[in-house]
Structure 1
């Protein structure tokens, strides 16, 4: 897992308007490239994460505790996310009072919803069950005309 390090990266994810919402957190996501797109060094790109915890969540100690919980949960469940995806986990004010188990189940649900998202599948190529690629047949007007002549 890498971090989103600059303001432009955060803004790009937030403006993408792809969100998954739960009781205590909102996860914004933005697909980048394909699953097997090599990075500059020839390594598959990882997903990147940013955290947004506003002052409405609590004082500095509380906000940092929420951020630590989010980092642990994101590392624990990173296998649920597709590679080449940027996410921003935004805490709602109720996240400060939520139990770790509650946040854990919410992160699992949100990350699962992201990986099943149509926007992720469209960005990375549609895949069917068991990771096989789905071929989409495109019928052109000449194919349709020849089918009419044959009587198909």
Structure 2
């Protein structure tokens, strides 16, 4: 499970990341980035639209994204990430999602 200090939960925190307007995308994900001046670790917020499926399916997608960020924590820059899942994600397994997230994070130059 991802520790509380690594999560973005509040609407206000999401808005602060969106205001920076640094976003990178591929067909499956949009990632918004923001530097976090107070901490030296990353924080992750995840948004999955109701259009992607029922609550069970959306929670499964969120869990997989969280697992990805835990697994690759040491390779990622200490920034704030807001991940928005797009439609194709609903039909992907974990390995496809992982490949897609690595791809979009390489575009953003956030992964070592």
> Which category describes the TM-score, using the shorter chain as reference length?
0.7 to 0.9
Partner of 1:79: 74
Partner of 1:70: 65
How many Å separate the matches in 2 of 1:48 and 1:6? Answer: 12
Partner of 2:43: 48
Structure 1's unaligned 5+ residue stretches are: 34-38, 117-152
C-alpha root-mean-square deviation of aligned residues, in Å? 1.9
Partner of 1:92: 86
Query: How many residues are treated as equivalent by the alignment?
Result: 107
Runs of 4 or more off by more than 4 Å in structure 1? none
Q: Deviation per CA, 1:71-119: give whole Å up to 9, x if none.
A: 1111112223212x11101111221101222111111122233335xxx
Q: Is the 8 A contact 1:58 1:93 kept in 2?
A: no
How many Å separate the matches in 1 of 2:75 and 2:102? Answer: 8
Aligned: 1:113 with 2:91 = no
Larger relative contact order (CA 8 Å, sep ≥ 6): 2
Partner of 1:31: 35
Structure 2's unaligned 5+ residue stretches are: none
